[in-house]
Structures are given as C-alpha cells and as structure tokens.
Structure 1
Amino acid sequence: MDMIVDCVFEDERWQSFGLEPMAERAARAVLAALGLGEAGFAISLLACDDARIAGLNTEFRGKAKATNVLSWPSDERGAEEIGGLPDLPEPGDADDPEELGDIAIAYETCMAEAAGQGKPPQDHVMHLLIHGMLHLFGYDHIEDADAQLMEGLETRILAGMGISDPY
C-alpha cells in the first residue's frame, strides 16, 4: 500500500490538469527524501479555486485574500530549536494510516504565478504540493534557518524529479 492521497475536487480544472497523480508522485518523493517508507500515511488534498482558498485563508490565517497553497498538519511536528529537524511521525498500517493533515491548493493563483514566473505550470504545482506536504511533516519557513532547511529539501526533491530550483 502506498501513501493515501485523498483528493477532493471542488474545481474540475484540477482533474484535467492531472493533480491527483502529481500529488501521489509528490508524496512518494517527500517520503523518500525523509527516509520514510511509502506506506502508512494519509493526506487530504482539496483542489479548489481562488474564492474557496481566500475564504480558508481568511478563516484560518486572518488574511482576506487568495493564496497558492495552505496546509493544516494533524499534529505539531515542528523542530524544538530553530533550524532543527522536525519530529517525524511513525507510519500507521493499511487499515489505519497515520493522518498527516490537509492541504488546499488554488487553481487560478497557481496558474497565474507559474505564468508570471515563466515556469511550466506542472513544475510550479509540483513545487507547491511538495511545499505543502513538508508543512504537514513539521517543516516551516518563518525563521531564516528553518526556511533554508525547508527550501533546500524542496530543491533536492524537485531536482530528483528533473525540476529546476524554484528559488
């Protein structure tokens, strides 16, 4: 059994974009980079539009605007010291996988950012999926040392997929 990525499509454009297989590929790459097996974990992914993510961003972050991706870890896994490694969870089993949390991703913002940055949309979305998944594992970018750790890991994972450095 691989990691379970439960995709909920509120915006059908994500289905024709191929988000579900991309999310599964991103999940496998993140698990491999973290030294975890491909089984025993579950993520919920909401594939939505800007209006929906703006509402979520307002509700959960107090920011009344659309954003590209949001993450809600199921547990606090962050490092105890700035620049340290997060406390990685143990996998569950086939009948009861470890729930890592939820991610929401907004179509219009992702496509506009990719166009504005001159990046292939698939590469940009893959980066954002990996970014969101790393948040579920306790990685963050508030402090500079944490950002360097997270961005370095993102860059290495993406390079392994043939995607150039997003930073």
Structure 2
Amino acid sequence: MTAILDLQIASTGDNIPSQADFQLWTDTVLTHLNLTEREMTIRVVDEDEIQQLNHQYRGKDKTTNVLSFPFEQPALFLPAGITLDPASISDEMPNLLGDLVVCTQVVATEAEQQNKIISHHWAHMIIHGTLHLLGYDHIEDDEADIMESLEITLLHKLAIDDPYQDH
C-alpha cells in the first residue's frame, strides 16, 4: 500500500465509491510515480460545502467537482543561537500530501452530461486531484499537456478510457 487515506464521507449523495476504490486510484498514482507511504485526506461532500470552500479559498461562489489543498510545510523557526546542520535538512517531499474535497452531486452530474461511467469519472477526479497535491497543474498549456497525458496513462492502467476524448 502506498497511500495512507483518511476517507471522510460527509455527503448524502448516491454512488459514492468504496474505500477500496479510493485506495486503488490513489495507489495507482503513487505507484506510477514511485512514491511510497504518502498520507492524504479525501473528503466527499455535498454541493453546499464544496461551494462554500470554493468561495472561501478560490473566490468562486459556485460548485466544483474537486478541490485540492496541498500540504504546505511550515517554516522552521529556531531559537536564537540554535542552528541546524544543512546536511540534516531533507528536500524530500513530506509524507503528508494534503486534502482532496470532492462533491458527489457535481461528479454525478458531469458523468451524466459527458456520457461517462460514474465510477470512471470518480477515478478521474481522484487521480486529477492527487496529481494537484503532488504539484501538477494545468494553467499553462504545456503544464496541461503533461498533466492530461499522465492522467490518461494512469486511467489506462485502470482500463478507463481517455476522459478528454469526445463522448
């Protein structure tokens, strides 16, 4: 197992994947990237909570499918006169990746509108969000190409079609 998951179900929605599904999807990402023992929280919510979080953290007063909150390493403040040997400070990514918040109703609506199998869309949202926690982004075209290519590769490992093809 490569992902240590804290799964929080705070939704009354239908078609919420199992713990095993979430584990498979996150493990697929981490294994492909040769990462082990990374911890993350996945919180499954309803529309009111995702809208409030989207408004609070992104300034967008609307629902969304998934929000990613990468862990930010706090600065280390040492008392005066105390120093650390620079060789003892690791540049490795911390084991704590961060939090994903996924909206049940938005995922279901998108899957229906895009003619996708709902479990496949859930897998895509979890993989997409996990990649964000790992620092991948899609703001710039070249970044989007890299991230989408990786998503397609990971979903293919799960026997899931390219989510970016026309449906």
1:21 aligns with 2:25: no
Corresponding residue of 1:157: 154
* CA deviation string 1:39-83 (max 9, x = no partner): x2110111101111000000000000000000000038xxxxxxx
Indicate the percent of aligned positions where both proteins have the same amino acid: 37
Aligned to 2:35, the other structure's residue is in SS state coil
State how many pairs are aligned: 147
Does residue 136 of structure 1 match 2:136? no
Q: CA deviation at 1:35?
A: 1.8
Normalised by the length of structure 1, the TM-score is: 0.82
Q: CA deviation at 1:13?
A: 3.3
SS in 1 for 2:123: helix
Are 1:46 and 2:50 matched, yes or no? Answer: no
**Distance in structure 2 (CA, Å) of the matches to 1:18 and 1:108:** 13
> Residue 140 of structure 1 contacts residue 147 of structure 1 at CA under 8 Å; is this kept in 2?
yes
Q: Gaps spanning 5+ residues in structure 1: where?
A: 77-86, 91-97
Give the aligned partner of residue 57 of structure 2: 60
Please list every run of 5 or more consecutive structure 2 residues that lacks an aligned counterpart in the other structure: 74-90
Native 8 Å contact 1:42 1:100 kept in 2: yes
CA contact 2:10–2:44 (8 Å) conserved in 1: yes
TM-score by length of 2: 0.82
SS in 2 for 1:17: coil
Q: How many Å apart are 1:88 and its aligned residue?
A: 6.9
2:130 is the counterpart of 1:126: no
Q: Secondary structure at the match of 2:25?
A: helix
